[in-house]
Amino acid sequence: MEKEEENNKLLNNEAQGTSVQHTDRNQPTQSYQYTQPYQYAPPYEQVPVPQTVIRTSMEPPPTYMAWSIFNCLFCMWPLGLIAICKSSEVDDHLNNRNMVAAQAASATARTLNTVATIWGVLNLIGTIVAVIILYVPQE
């Protein structure tokens, strides 16, 4: 009975984090320090993580096919022909669901068409000026 009471006292002291002295008749008195069990820190606050959003309903880039044909026929046929090839590549990439390549081909077709149109307009202006200078009688 005494052993049980002593063990209960020891357990109570251990739970409170106090020092306890163990005595045994055959050994000298020893002192131990008992501490409370480790308490875990409260859970950390959850921080929202930025997410990547992929839009699946993007508009397809324009092909500029009509502008390319116009440039091939009336402005500068070499650039117009290359622009027609790039415009058809846009459709091919869209059929393969490769939006990045389709946008790149569309941008190239737009650039080629812009250069061909500017070349055609400058060529037209130069032709008009040359006709005026050569065929208008000078007084």
Is 122 domain-assigned? Answer: yes
Is 90 domain-assigned? Answer: yes
Q: What is the pTM of this model?
A: 0.56
Mean pLDDT computed over 39-57: 66
The pLDDT > 70 percentage for the chain reads 62
69 and 123 in one domain? yes
Q: Look up the domain containing 119 and give its range.
A: 65-135
69 and 120 in one domain? yes
Is 55 domain-assigned? Answer: no
Is 13 domain-assigned? Answer: yes
> What are the DSSP calls for 50-87, one per residue?
P-----SSPPPPP--HHHHHHIIIII-HHHHHHHHHHH
Is 114 domain-assigned? Answer: yes
127 and 72 in one domain? yes
74 and 130 in one domain? yes
CB 86 within 8 A of CB 103: no
Is 52 domain-assigned? Answer: no
Q: Which amino acid is at 131?
A: V
CB 115 within 8 A of CB 79: yes
Structure-token pair, residue 20: 């306890």
Is 130 domain-assigned? Answer: yes
72 and 113 in one domain? yes
Is 38 domain-assigned? Answer: no
Q: In total, how many domains does the chain have?
A: 2
The residue written with tokens 């022909």 in the block is: 81
Residue-wise pLDDT for 76-90, tens only, equals 899 999 999 999 999
